[in-house]
A = this chain, B = another copy of it.
Amino acid sequence: MKALVKSRPAPGAEILTVPDPTPAPDEVIIKVRRVAVCGTDLHIYGWDRWSQGRIKPPLIFGHEFVGEVVALGVRAEGVKLGDVVACETHVACGVCHLCRRGLMHVCERVQILGVDRSGAYAEFVAVPARNCWPIPDGMSLEVASALEPLGNAVHTVLAGEIAGCSALVTGCGPIGLFSIAVARACGAGPIVASDVNPYRLELAKKIGADVVIDAKKEDVAARTREATDGRGADVVLEMSGHPSAIRQGLQAIRNAGRMSLLGLPSDPFELDVTGLIIFKGVTVQGINGRLMFQTWRQMNELLTSGRLDIRPALTHVMAIEDYAQAMEQLKNGSAGKIVLIPWGEKAGTGKLEAAAGRA
């Protein structure tokens, strides 16, 4: 089969012909129909410090996808041939003390698709049957390919109270945009969004932010207080990974508020824990992955009931051969979520609205 492979410990990737995968007893083989590009893929492609420590080339990367089940291992339960499924990409061990406690999303021996084992930039991918989530009728393939990162947003937004709460979303990349949509669908208001990229702020407005702040030009905390009658944000959803955004979020939050961190700072940084966290009585949550599979259920209901529409954040659909362009656009911030169409699918038209219109 064809696959996009991180073939060498250096920047870049290449399309190669590789052997087809075969399923272990509890696995299934999925024919990939759509695969979205994650920031993690960009790190692997660019071969940054984190990738150098974690990735062992050659590796088929890519992990946000939807496809059709075309083969079943002998003990695969819960899915059947022909099911169209999205996948939880954290393959939990199932037996460590965290898995047994119901905390599979932070399994001590987790393997991540496209990071620690073969991923989905390929015609076919093998995944454990229990990681599959059959997608509901009528959901477009583009939306379905984005369920994994949307799950990050759902997990973050619903990690505490949100209905009737004011919320500040710092960082309007794809998951930040998803978070705005999810928070809005779940009764947050007003929703304030900050970023330094006008294109993304525009998308933020389109997907449901009540107020947008250009963090390069404006004082995020002051503007947030203004938008909340001086009270500050009840909830801050941090999606950028920038130390300055984390500080701004903590300045903008009301006492005893909740700040949930999903964006990954690239380095340790200095923080006024006393003034911004302890005296304020703030709760700071590190968010990783998605609750298995509570988050998937919540997401499913939000989408199928029509409460949530993420299509404004899905800005581009392109053929997988155009991966270099996709990586470049993500890097320079001129895209929301980009969805790739792999081999064997009719080439995408680039007209997402039409495609996604099936949702």
Which residues between 214 and 245 of chain A lie within 8 Å of chain B, taking CB atoms?
231, 241
Beta-carbon contact of B279 and A273 below 8 Å? no
In the bound assembly, the distance between CA atoms of A346 and B254 in angstroms comes to: 42
**Nearest B residue to A185 by beta-carbon distance?**
B187
**Nearest B residue to A297 by beta-carbon distance?**
B101
Q: A98-B254, A184-B307, A210-B305 given as contacts; is B77 within 8 A of A298 (CB)?
A: no
A273-315 contact mask (Cβ, 8 Å, vs B): 1 or 0:
1100111111111111101111011111110111110000000
Please tell me if A8 contacts chain B, counting CB pairs below 8 Å. Answer: no
Please tell me if A271 contacts chain B, counting CB pairs below 8 Å. Answer: yes
Beta-carbon contact of A297 and B95 below 8 Å? no
Beta-carbon contact of A163 and B305 below 8 Å? no
Please tell me if A42 contacts chain B, counting CB pairs below 8 Å. Answer: no
Please tell me if A261 contacts chain B, counting CB pairs below 8 Å. Answer: yes
In the bound assembly, the distance between CA atoms of A344 and B26 in angstroms comes to: 38
In the bound assembly, the distance between CA atoms of A256 and B293 in angstroms comes to: 15
Query: In whole Å, how far is A227's beta carbon from the nearest beta carbon of chain B?
Result: 10
Size category, A interface: 35 or more
Q: A278-B288, A286-B281, A305-B210 given as contacts; is B103 within 8 A of A255 (CB)?
A: yes
In the bound assembly, the distance between CA atoms of A163 and B268 in angstroms comes to: 33
Residue numbers in B under 8 Å from A98 (CB-CB): 254-256
Please tell me if A83 contacts chain B, counting CB pairs below 8 Å. Answer: no
* A interface, over-half SS: loop
Partner of A25, one of B75, B97, B158, B282: B75
Q: How many subunits of this chain does the assembly comprise?
A: 4
Residue numbers in B under 8 Å from A241 (CB-CB): 274
Residue numbers in B under 8 Å from A286 (CB-CB): 273, 277-284
Beta-carbon contact of A186 and B186 below 8 Å? yes
Please tell me if A322 contacts chain B, counting CB pairs below 8 Å. Answer: no
Please tell me if A165 contacts chain B, counting CB pairs below 8 Å. Answer: yes
In the bound assembly, the distance between CA atoms of A281 and B298 in angstroms comes to: 20
Residue numbers in B under 8 Å from A164 (CB-CB): 154, 158, 186, 297-302
* Centre residue among A105, A277, A281, A300 by max chain B CB count within 10 A: A281
**Nearest B residue to A273 by beta-carbon distance?**
B265
Q: A98-B256, A101-B297 given as contacts; is B284 within 8 A of A283 (CB)?
A: yes
Residue numbers in B under 8 Å from A184 (CB-CB): 307
Beta-carbon contact of A187 and B186 below 8 Å? yes
22 residue pairs from A and B, CB less than 8 Å apart? A75-B75, A77-B94, A94-B130, A97-B231, A98-B255, A98-B256, A100-B297, A102-B293, A103-B255, A103-B281, A105-B281, A163-B302, A185-B187, A189-B302, A210-B305, A264-B274, A270-B271, A278-B287, A281-B288, A282-B285, A283-B283, A283-B286
